[in-house]
Structure 1
């Protein structure tokens, strides 16, 4: 900005866009983050040259061992993929059913009881922090090897995610309809039915489809610990070094998940 001094000459006054303290803090943060990355590289021995040395091994493994896939194993893979899909579908359905009432209890604009609100919130946080593989191990020990343990593990894991997302959506709804129903003497059930559900249904359906995508992918991994699905036969074929069968499993799993993700993304796009 130009100003005139006492001699009548124009001077230019500079305005600082960023404060010196902010620059020092930014530089310090970058140095700390870079140092942590370098420490992680040395601690894990994850140097780029190791990746370069491993590329020819990966290439030979894919060309010599995995190719060509054993298409005669396709029927067995299809059966396991169907079981994987059923696990994901059932677990997502159960999680959606139980998540809806929990979401209202975990919403501060619906549940006025602070103690109950905090208890449910903490419960949802605990459910989300337990990995689905750990849950699968626990349920395999409880009900045995098979799809049932996988369904139970994914239901509990999905419940924490879905209830958390929906409860935050409920807390962000337009308060106008809620206040109008309460002012006219409506009870909590009427507030939920007429004031909240019409506002959150598209998001609830979108979140449910998103959780279904997660469960389809997670159910593949759960098979490695005996929780049913395609993961069981993949682990068996890997142990027996039947890499042609493994290639068929990988290809069909990739194709199935891609189709499910594509359909789900389009549906969620229309809902949102």
Structure 2
């Protein structure tokens, strides 16, 4: 091998010094953040016996509780699927209006992006509380919460994907006299379809997990039963619920990965 192709020692030394400097800076920021936030690292190890005590109580699941959690687990999956689908359908036109290479009007694009930023700013637990107050306790509140959450996240992923597409097909259609709708249908969608489906599946996975937490506020799903078991200190029932959620997450992850591989 030609020695001229190898990196020179001064460069490697400079890179090494920078790496050490960044590492020291990171550790300093970590230490400073711990001091400012009042984090007590020792408390974790001091109370570690309580953690193992909780695991010991969950080590003997109440398997007879399995039949009870099947229906709320199915409801959780349905909530995530419906909410993700609604959010995705609403996100598609917004993502098109927010894309820099499709919408040249900076005012329109700025307004759309401001709306998207505003939606992503609202925490999902706050959304759940709002929809529970509007539609009442149940799965409906959970569906609308997940729909708004999905809309905010997917729209950003979508318009960033649109902005990375090849511009030549768009320019060719515009030169041929195609309108904006035709450009989107025949030049944009074919290039981003696989990415859109992948983002949809990814958001669906997240929503299955998020819907578990939303149940604490009465937004339906398995989270309601998880909150009840913890409140009544029935950790044997909690173990069954956790295992059921784990099984669902594993199955969804396997299916999603398989679909992504086929799309690629």
TM-score normalized by the length of structure 2: 0.89
Q: Which moved more, 1:158-167 or 1:67-76?
A: 67-76
Deviation at 1:46, TM superposition (A): 3.0
Instruction: Give the corresponding residue for 2:28.
Output: 35
Secondary structure at the aligned position of 1:17 is classed as helix
Whether 1:54 aligns to 2:47 is: yes
Quote the Cα distance in structure 2 between the aligned partners of 1:261 and 1:15. 46
Q: Structure 1 residues 15, 236: CA separation in 2 closer, same or farther (over 3 Å shift)? A: closer
The count of corresponding residues between Structure 1 and Structure 2 is 256
Q: Distance in 2 between matches of 1:269 and 1:204?
A: 14
**Of 105-114 and 220-229, the range deviating more from structure 2:** 105-114
Moved more, 189-198 or 107-116: 107-116
C-alpha distance in 2 between matches for 1:37 and 1:216? 32
- The answer on 1:94 being equivalent to 2:86 is yes
- The separation in 1 between residues aligned to 2:75 and 2:9, in whole angstroms, is 65
The partner residue of 2:139 within 140, 147, 154 is: 147
Greater Cα radius of gyration, structure 1 or 2: 1
Q: Which runs of 5+ in 1 are unaligned?
A: 1-13
Give the deviation of 1:229 after TM superposition: 0.6
TM (norm. structure 1) is 0.87
Counterpart Cα distance in 2 of 1:24 and 1:52 = 35
In the aligned structure 1, how far is the partner of 2:46 from the partner of 2:24?
30
2:75 is aligned with 1:83: yes
Q: Distance in 1 between matches of 2:130 and 2:241?
A: 26
- The yes-or-no answer on 1:190 pairing with 2:182 is yes
1 CA distance for matches of 2:149 and 2:125? 10
* Match 2:193 to one of 176, 189, 201: 201
Structure 1 residues 37-78: Cα deviation after superposition (integer angstroms, max 9, x where no partner): 22333443332x433333333223222x21311111112111
